[in-house]
Structure 1
Amino acid sequence: MLTPIDQNILERRTIKKFKKDPVDIEEIIELLNVAKWAPNHKVNQPWRFQLYAGDGKEKFVQAFIDAMPKEDGAVPQKALNKAQYFRDIPLHLVVIMPEDPRQRRWDEDYGAISSLLQNFQLAAWARGIGMIWRSNDWIYDPVFREAIGVKPGEKIVATMMIGYPQHVPEKRERTDIREKIIIISE
């Protein structure tokens, strides 16, 4: 028997097409306050966030444009189209972690942030808010990183594009876990 949590996990989708309707910033903060209860070794809370909304989105968009490779000295039309797509999305949340030089701590921090982001997505989905977790090449570009204030020694884990879904894609089947598990019972 599926619980409401099970159902929410099964029904959540990655959203790529958003309505232009604004999303309340206080609701996003509330959702992040729920999401922060993700498993977190040592409870060091290795995350920080930058939320781009309203006119502030232009800083994010311009950083993206500036990081794009130029063709004959100009930004390619494909990148300009993507920039307009970003402008039309209500909110952009950049999720940043410190890059601890100790591999174990780095792994634990990344796992904690990934868990937080899944919690965030599920809690938002339950309220009708959709998003896409992006980790495109440009988040590694020094021009983009510097433009948005990401310091050396920090990692952008995700750029979450957030809004109300204009289109909810169909479910794509997943492989049954029975095909991916080895059970050792003796």
Structure 2
Amino acid sequence: MLNAIDQNIIERRTIKKFKSDPIDIEEIIELLNIAKWAPNHTINEPWRFQLYAGEGKEKFVQAYIDAMPKEDGVTPQKVLNKAKYFREIPLHLVVIMPEDPRQRRWDEDYGAISSLLQNFQLAAWARGIGMIWRSNDWIYNPIFRHSIGVQPGEKIVATMMIGYPQHVPEKRERTDIREKLTIISE
């Protein structure tokens, strides 16, 4: 028998098409305050966030436009179409972590942020808010990073595009875990 948490995990979807309805910024802050309870080694909270809303989204969109290559088959029209799509999404949340030079700390920090982001997605989904976790090539571009104030020694873990779903995709089946599980009992 599935409980409410089980159902929420199974039913959550990545959303790519959003309604234009605004999302209350205070609700996003509340959701992040819930999500911060993710497992976090030594409680160092290795995250910071930038939330782009309203007219502030233009800074995010312009950083994307400026960072796009002018060759490699990326046409100006394709970039402008994506920029238009980004402008129509109610909120953009950039999630940033310090890049600790110690591999173990880096791994722990990345795991903590990934857990936080899953908590955030699930808590938002329970309230009818959808999102897509993007980690496209342009987040590594120095032009994009500089334009939004990401410092050397920091990693953009995700750009979360957030809004009320206009369309919820169908569930895509997953492999039964038994096919990916090795049990060592002796």
Q: Does TM, normalized by the shorter one, top 0.5?
A: yes
Q: Distance in 1 between matches of 2:178 and 2:28?
A: 37
Partner of residue 61, structure 2: 61
Q: Distance in 1 between matches of 2:138 and 2:12?
A: 26
Q: What does 1:17-166 align with in structure 2 at a 5 Å threshold? A: 17-71=17-71, 76-166=76-166
Q: Distance in 2 between matches of 1:41 and 1:25?
A: 28
Q: Distance in 1 between matches of 2:12 and 2:152?
A: 34
Q: Distance in 1 between matches of 2:106 and 2:5?
A: 29
Task: Give 1:98 shift.
Answer: 0.1
**Would you say the 8 A contact 1:145–1:151 is kept in 2?**
yes
**Would you say the 8 A contact 1:68–1:75 is kept in 2?**
no
TM-score with structure 1 length normalisation? 0.98
Q: How many residues align?
A: 184
- Aligned AA (2:168): V
Cα shift readout 1:131-185 (whole Å, capped 9, x = no counterpart) = 0000000000000000000000000000000000000000000000000000011
Cα shift readout 1:52-96 (whole Å, capped 9, x = no counterpart) = 00000000000000001125xx96100100000000000000000
Q: Distance in 2 between matches of 1:99 and 1:79?
A: 29
SS of aligned partner of 1:158: strand
SS of aligned partner of 1:55: helix
SS of aligned partner of 2:133: strand
Percent sequence identity over matched residues?
A: 88
Partner of residue 12, structure 1: 12
Partner of residue 168, structure 1: 168
**What's the RMSD between the two structures over aligned residues?**
1.0
Q: Distance in 2 between matches of 1:176 and 1:31?
A: 31
- Aligned AA (1:81): N
Q: Distance in 2 between matches of 1:182 and 1:87?
A: 46
Task: Give 1:33 shift.
Answer: 0.1
Q: Distance in 2 between matches of 1:92 and 1:65?
A: 15
Which runs of 5 or more residues in structure 2 are unaligned?
none
Task: Give 1:18 shift.
Answer: 0.1
Task: Give 1:109 shift.
Answer: 0.0
Q: Which runs of 4+ in 1 moved over 2 A?
A: none
- Aligned AA (1:80): L
SS of aligned partner of 2:95: strand
Which runs of 5 or more residues in structure 1 are unaligned?
none
Q: Distance in 1 between matches of 2:22 and 2:155?
A: 28
